[in-house]
Structure 1
Amino acid sequence: MASNRPAQPTSFAPNDTQPFGFAYGKDEGPWEEWNPTEDSVRPVRGRHRVGKQRGGGLARSSTVLGVGVIAAVGAGGMATAAPGKAPVSISLPDLSSVTHSAKALISDGAEAPKGSTTPLTGAGLTTADTAQGTRDAGEALRARIMQQAESQQNQADSATQEAAETAAAKQATALATKQQDDAKAKADAAKKKAEEEAKAKAEAERLAKLAKSYSLPTSSYTLTSRFGEAGALWSSGYHTGLDFAAPTGTLIKAIHSATVTEAGWAGSYGYRTILTLDDGTELWFCHQSSISVSVGQKVATGDVIGRVGATGNVTGPHLHLEVHPGGAATGIDPMAWLQGKGLNP
């Protein structure tokens, strides 16, 4: 059986009192004896040999080694790893400041305040935030978010207000345009009405003036056959004039100043007198019982030119009046022509 190897002498011995409160007696140390046996050193076939570790050995060894190094450095500032090797110099920072800080933290049994609101960092703070006195990054972020939300809301409100103002402007423009159109339409209607009234007034004045220079061909009459009536009584198949039925001998007068261009017998028209106006219009006075003028004679409005009779193709005494513009063979409606001169038969 193998015997234990004697412990190697060390270049230092632990002090009774070491830094950080570690203390060992002269015969005490963090070392532990290892007593190998035949079973513990026998090789294992077919698998890798794994050294049996005793519970807590590695952790304790590491702790002991670290404490030993610190103790050695604290004692002489120099440690020797093994006999025959050069010593290694190890430099450590001054631990007095660390010890002082630790003692200050736990002095008088005071505990660090819990739930402190003091910000742990100034990350995220801008120059503007610092200038405004903000030191909390979270509060600064919250303020920027609120400012952005407010800006967006203001933009939305501005857009809504602008849209409402635009719609109101369009509505006002449309209303103003409609009012202008209505006013223009009313003005045009009033103007048209005024023009029509002025025109009617002028026409009435003109007809009144003409009426003074025109007169009906006879009086005490009754209108019987009118222009355009169809019947077998007329050789043309329709009536070509306007008949004024009146007793025989009723005076026939000149409608307007004119020249006598015919005066005598005219077949189916009986005794007929033709007056030619200055514009060339011919007025035929037919079925007279007598004629009072001669060809070439000038007559004025209202002058007597003959008397009502029943000569020619007639059924009774009457004055047959025809109007031939420009001396045309075909006449026009005498009623319309007389009305155009301000006369109402």
Structure 2
Amino acid sequence: MASNPPAPQAPFAPSRRPESHGYGDVRTDEGPWEEWNPTEDSLRPVRGRHRVGKQRGGGLARSSTVLGVGVIAAVGAGGIASAHPGKPPVSLSLPDLPSVGSLFDDSSHAPKGSGTALSSAGVTSADAARGTANAGEALRSRLMAQVEQQQTQVDKKAEAAAVAAAAQQADAAAVKAQKDADAKAAAAKQKADEEARKAAEAAKLAELAKQYTLPTSSYTITGTFGQPGSMWSSGYHTGLDFAAPTGTLIKAIHSGTITEAGWAGAYGYRTILTLDDGTELWFCHQSSINVSVGQKVSTGEVIGRVGATGNVTGPHVHLEVHPNGQATAIDPMTWLRSKGLNP
């Protein structure tokens, strides 16, 4: 197989003028190149595999340098771009820097000193006013400002929640205090009402006590209502016994009318005093009777004397109370106390 002849090379002359990139020394691998006029022989077609010589030129180098600086500027302004194998390339967007090209323009028409530093790309006037020098500091400043703002909002919400909770607790405490005050007032009123009722009852009993009296004096209670025993025909004691010496005076407990006076078997000599409300008071076992049937008597008037007649074991006056004249007796102790008396 015939090999393709190499393409002719143009003569090379190194350039000693300083580059606009700032290297300042001699570059042996770049132009400018001397003028080359191709001929028909040098341009005849090459058969087989085409081989193209690597071309180097100042324009390409300068363009690659600008691209590199632009990439650096893009990374500095927008963050770090990393490539991963097997993933599609990430597109980078350059900031709007119209004066970047002028930094590398060799033409004499480029304005001097009109370029913007790449380190300050993306820095706003507000960032500059805060003293921010580059894009990283600007981003950090903005993030810190945003965090501070969010923290302020959180603090305000927490403060508002605390104030609401305190107000709720204060309201609950006020309601509880009001309830406690109402309960105390109700208890005090109830206590006052009870004391007033007791005072009124005491006054009433005191007034009644002036109208009622005990049947005798210098006595001893020897038998109470309801005591069981075979000595009573009903099987239990039906009255209240005031034991006293024979001949002790028996007085009318309250004013009324004598409805019975005489012998009553087991009760001995008995006197029945009927009050105005129909209550019958029985005075039994008397030694003598001083009143007669139909006689009106008043409170404290003598109606007889203590004795031991009838079914007895000793001298005493047996008192029974029969409301409305009924046959069944009630407890004389309770009835006397309802009248302000304390046997």
TM interval, shorter chain, is: 0.5 to 0.7
TM-score, scaled to structure 2: 0.66
Rounded Cα–Cα distance in structure 2 between residues aligned with 1:52 and 1:291: 169
User: Which residue matches 2:268?
Assistant: 270
Higher helix proportion:
1
RMSD over equivalenced CA pairs, Å:
4.0
User: Which residue matches 1:235?
Assistant: 233
Tell me how far 1:121 sits from its aligned partner. 5.9
> Once the two structures are superposed, what CA deviation does each residue of 1:165-204 show, in whole Å capped at 9, x if it has no partner?
1221222122222222222222222222222222221111
> Once the two structures are superposed, what CA deviation does each residue of 1:58-100 show, in whole Å capped at 9, x if it has no partner?
859x99xxxxxxxxxxxxxxxxxxxxxxxxxxxxxxxxx9632
Aligned with residue 214 of structure 1, among 212, 215, 238:
212
Aligned with residue 173 of structure 2, among 163, 172, 175:
175
Instruction: Give the ranges of 4+ consecutive aligned residues of structure 1 lying more than 4 Å apart after TM superposition.
Output: 20-24, 28-34, 115-118, 128-144
Percent identity, please.
Answer: 64
Q: Which has the larger radius of gyration?
A: 1
> Once the two structures are superposed, what CA deviation does each residue of 1:231-278 show, in whole Å capped at 9, x if it has no partner?
011000000000111111111000011111111111111111111111
Q: Counterparts of 1:34-113 in structure 2 under 5 Å?
A: 50=48, 56=53, 99-101=107-109
Query: 2:157 corresponds to which letter in structure 1?
Result: A
User: Which residue matches 1:71?
Assistant: none
Residue 191 (structure 1) aligned with residue 189 (structure 2): yes
Rounded Cα–Cα distance in structure 1 between residues aligned with 2:250 and 2:269: 13
Query: Structure 1 stretches of 5 or more lacking a match?
Result: 1-19, 42-48, 64-96
Rounded Cα–Cα distance in structure 1 between residues aligned with 2:296 and 2:250: 16
Residue 244 (structure 1) aligned with residue 236 (structure 2): no
Shift in alpha-carbon separation, 1:23–1:233, aligned structure 2, 3 A: closer
Rounded Cα–Cα distance in structure 2 between residues aligned with 1:257 and 1:157: 89
Look up the SS of the partner of 1:259 in the other structure: strand
> Once the two structures are superposed, what CA deviation does each residue of 1:132-159 show, in whole Å capped at 9, x if it has no partner?
9999776665554344323311221111
Rounded Cα–Cα distance in structure 1 between residues aligned with 2:33 and 2:308: 173
Look up the SS of the partner of 1:236 in the other structure: coil
Rounded Cα–Cα distance in structure 1 between residues aligned with 2:237 and 2:224: 7
Query: 1:250 corresponds to which letter in structure 2?
Result: T
Query: 1:334 corresponds to which letter in structure 2?
Result: P
Query: Structure 2 stretches of 5 or more lacking a match?
Result: 1-30, 59-104
Rounded Cα–Cα distance in structure 2 between residues aligned with 1:288 and 1:174: 74
Shift in alpha-carbon separation, 1:149–1:52, aligned structure 2, 3 A: closer
